[in-house]
Amino acid sequence: RKEVEQDPGPFNVPEGATVAFNCTYSNSASQSFFWYRQDCRKEPKLLMSVYSSGNEDGRFTAQLNRASQYISLLIRDSKLSDSATYLCVVTGRGGSQGNLIFGKGTKLSVKP
């Protein structure tokens, strides 16, 4: 089983749509979880951390289920500017901070 698995997509959605991405991870010792956004040929940028209690930042909601080792990201009212690849990221062996394990990413394309 891969360390971090994501549906690669692409997800093609119209503006204003709600879209959800899922991610599973294999290392039960992982301590921290994140969603990063990566635009084409650019470096990843932190979108949000994911907490056990779930967290929301504007149109973005992230949730974590430790028992199922499952992370989700919900984007409401999609904008054209949301088009990017969304990377599910967990900390690696021993839960070491900064030793980030990346999923392959889910590509989102928001159309007018």
Partner 1 sequence: GAVVSQHPSRVICKSGTSVKIECRSLDFQATTMFWYRQFPKQSLMLMATSNEGSKATYEQGVEKDKFLINHASLTLSTLTVTSAHPEDSSFYICSALKRGRGTEAFFGQGTRLTVV
Sole binder of partner 1 in the list 4, 19, 50, 84 (CB under 8 A): 4
Strand 106-111 to strand 55-57: parallel, antiparallel, or no bridges (unpaired)? Answer: unpaired
Helix (H, G, I), strand (E, B) or coil at 17: coil
Peptide bond into 44 cis (omega under 30): no
Size of interface with partner 1, in residues (CB under 8 A) = 19
Task: Select the span of 12-20, 59-67, 75-83, 103-111 touching partner 1 (CB under 8 A).
Answer: 103-111
Residue (51 or 70) nearer to partner 1, CB: 51
Q: Which residues contact 53 (CB under 8 A, 6 or more apart)?
A: none
| List 14, 58, 98, 112, residue binding partner 1 (CB under 8 A) | 98
The window from 10-18, 56-64, 69-77, 96-104 that contacts partner 1 (CB under 8 A) reads: 96-104
Residue 32 CB-density burial (10 A; 0-12 exposed, 13-18 middle, 19+ buried): middle
Question: How many helices (H) and strands (E) are present in the chain, helices listed first?
Answer: 0, 11
Among residues 42 and 66, whose Cβ is nearest to partner 1?
42
**Residues between 42 and 81 with contacts to partner 1, criterion CB under 8 A:** 42-46, 49
Two tokens at 51? 């907490």
Interface residue list for partner 1 (CB under 8 A): 4, 41-46, 49, 87, 92, 97-105
